[in-house]
Every structure is written in C-alpha cells, then in structure tokens.
Amino acid sequence: MSIITESITVKFFLVEIVSMPAAGEQCPFCQLIANPEQLKVVEETDNFYAWLDINPRARGYTMVVPKEHKDSVEDFSPSEYQEAMSLVRKVVDKAKKGLDADGVSVTMNIDEAAGQMVPHAYIQIFPRFEDEETSGTPTGAVFQPHEEAKENLDKIHDKISSVESDFGVTTKEAHPESKNFKEDESGESSDDIPDDEPGGKNEAIDKIGGNLAGTGTTPLSLGSQEADGDSNESEEQESDSAQAEEKDEVRIDPDHEGKSFEWH
C-alpha cells in the first residue's frame, strides 16, 4: 500500500475526516475494498460487506458498505436496498446473539449535511448495552425540539406528501388463501368453476358452514345458487328460515334465495 493510501486510511479510521474529500480524491472505502484482507468482515453478500470499524464507537460497531462504489444510499437500486437491509438485519441478529446486545441502533447518513463523512454509501449499526452510559438514548437525541417546524407542520406535510417518489414499486403479495392468489396460480376465477367441482361455490358454502360449526354457531344455509324457481328448494329455504327464527340466531329471507339475511 502506498504512503498516500495509508495516510487516507488512517485518517478515516481515526475519524479525523470532518468533511467530504475534494473531487478527484480517491475514495477511502474503495481502497479498503480493493484490499479485503485488511477488513474485519462479519458477514457479506454478493454486493455488500459488513465489517467492523477498527476504531469502533460501540462494541460491535459495524458498517454495511456496497462493494461497488455508490456515492450515497440514494444510489441503491430497489434490489440493492433490499439486499443491504437484509444484511443489516443479519448483523443485528449477530450482535444480539453473539455480543448479548440489549438493543441495536441503525443509522443512514445521506449527504454531508446529514453527517456523511465518506463519499461512499454506508449504513451504520450500533449495538447498544444496558450497562453503558448511553443506554436508552436514541441516536436522534442530537435533534432538539424544533419550534419553527412545529408552527409550520401543515405546510411541511403538504410539501413532503405531494412529492411522488419513483423508487421502486410498492406491492403486497396476495395471501395464499385469497381469491387473487388462487386466480394467479390457476389462471381461472372461482366464478368460472362449476358449483359442484373443487373450488366451486358449493365448496365455499361448506367451508363457511364448517367454520361456524367450529364456533358453536348454527351453520347458515345460504339456499340454492340456482334461480330456476324449483318448489322443493323454496320449501327447504322456508324450513331453514323457520328453524333459524326458533333459535333466534339468523333469519334468512326466502324471497332472496338465502342471499340476504339479518343478524339478531
């Protein structure tokens, strides 16, 4: 390693860098990554390292750093961000189980005004311990109540909420038992399945009845799903309605073929 490289590296680890390096100056993290044998790596993924700082600010103080140069966390793609946060979660687990940490603080300083000291993205992980003086003090304690912000809360809200972020797409995976999930898997809706086949309406009615029976409630008879006006079906509906009224639990309106009912 050259004298210049050693000098820059030592400066960083002694936390003597108080401002971002000038344009064109080599990134200290990139120098470290180019010589991974000097890193105290506790975990890594395809695109990130999690290493211990050799001059830690806490027991187990860890930095999660992209192997490829990224100026800021803002430069992460959605998949890179997910990978980085998964790695952070692993380090949190390691700190709690390996060091008996009582808690963990995670911080991201983005840009110089926010305290980013190196022009290379990083996420800081601080294991916290009850026996230390700083126990219970949040990392945000550096910020005191901001009266001007309080007075202009509505304006600030409008300015922030009105901005549309193009970072990734927020999606929510359908529950495995949901209709949407089953449609995606099978390519067909339950409405397209004959009533008497698996997945049809009759199966759904049986499930409802079984669930109510498990709770001690009389299963509902939802009547016929056919609208052919058969007299036998009408008699069954009237009988079910009479039984429900006697038990003062559910009354099914036969005029609507069991599809409309009231709870007492």
Pair type for strands 48-52 and 62-66? antiparallel
CA 258 to chain centroid? 42
CA distances (Å), origin 31, targets 5, 112, 125, 242: 7, 20, 21, 83
CA distance 16 to 29: 15
Question: Do 99 and 60 meet the contact criterion of CB atoms below 8 Å apart?
Answer: yes
CA geometry: angle at 52 spanning 49 and 58, to 5°? Answer: 135
Q: What are phi and psi of 98, to 5 degrees?
A: -85, -30
Note the pTM of the prediction, 2 decimals.
0.56
Classified as helix, coil or strand, 125 is strand
> Which residue segments constitute the domains of the chain, with CATH numbers given?
3-136 (3.30.428.10), 173-219 (no CATH), 226-264 (no CATH)
CA distance 261 to 228: 20
Q: What is the pLDDT along the chain (264 residues), one digit of tens a residue?
A: 444 444 444 334 333 333 444 433 579 999 999 999 999 999 999 999 999 988 898 999 999 999 999 999 999 999 999 999 999 999 999 999 999 999 999 999 999 999 999 999 999 999 999 999 889 998 888 888 899 999 999 999 999 999 988 887 655 565 566 555 555 555 554 455 666 666 566 666 665 555 555 555 444 444 444 444 455 555 555 555 555 445 444 454 555 444 444 444
